[in-house]
Amino acid sequence: MEHHIIPLRTYFTIFGALLLLLGLTVGVAFLDLGPFSVVVALSIAFAKAILIVLFFMHVRYSSRLVQIFAATALLWFFFMISLTIADYMARSGDWPPSPDSGPLSLAEERRLW
């Protein structure tokens, strides 16, 4: 069976990069970047995930079919999250009612829907 054998060096390099990114994400978390902190945290998380998927999981060296499967899974996840968040962003400020505010009256319920 012909397989691409990734040299050991590559695995250690990727591992080093993953540790660096871990240190970076913990360090940056102590800084107040306002709305950018979530962007930075998720960018670093995606960078780590991509390194693991491409090299440790060999997707970079896999068949085109496997690459499409991996990419599609991510695409569908983005559909799920973007459509859901778009819905909540389009609603008024008091939706959903806070779990701390107690049960709503029927009139309030109707107004919110």
Partner 1 sequence: MAQHNPAVPTQHSPHLAHHFDTLEQQYDAANAGMWLFLATEIMLFGALFVAYAVYRFVYPETFFEASRHLAIPAESPWYLRSVFLGTINTTVLLVSSLTMALAVHAAQTGKRNRLVWLLLATMVLGTVFLGIKGLEYFLKYEEHLIPGPNFIFEQANRNQAQLFFLLYFIGTGLHAVHMVIGLGLLAYLVFQSRKGRFTPEWFTPVEMGGLYWHFVDVVWVFLFPLFYLIGLHE
Q: Can you tell me which residue has the tokens 């829907």? A: 113
Going by C-beta distance under 8 Å and a sequence separation of 6 or more, which residues neighbour residue 104?
A: 97, 112
Pick one of 9, 90, 92, 96: the residue that binds partner 1 (CB under 8 A): 96
- H helices present in the chain, as ranges: 8-29, 36-51, 64-90, 106-112
Residue 77 contacts partner 1 per CB under 8 A:
yes
Q: Distance between CA atoms of 53 and 61, rounded to whole angstroms?
A: 11
33 binds partner 1 (CB under 8 A): yes
Size of the site for partner 1 (CB under 8 A): 54
DSSP assignment letter at 105: P
- Closest approach of partner 1 to the CB of residue 110, in Å: 20
Binding site for partner 1 (CB under 8 A): 1-3, 5-6, 8, 11-12, 15, 18-19, 22, 25-26, 29-33, 37-38, 41-42, 44-45, 48-49, 52-53, 55-58, 62-63, 65-66, 69-70, 72-74, 76-77, 80-81, 84-85, 88-89, 96, 98-100
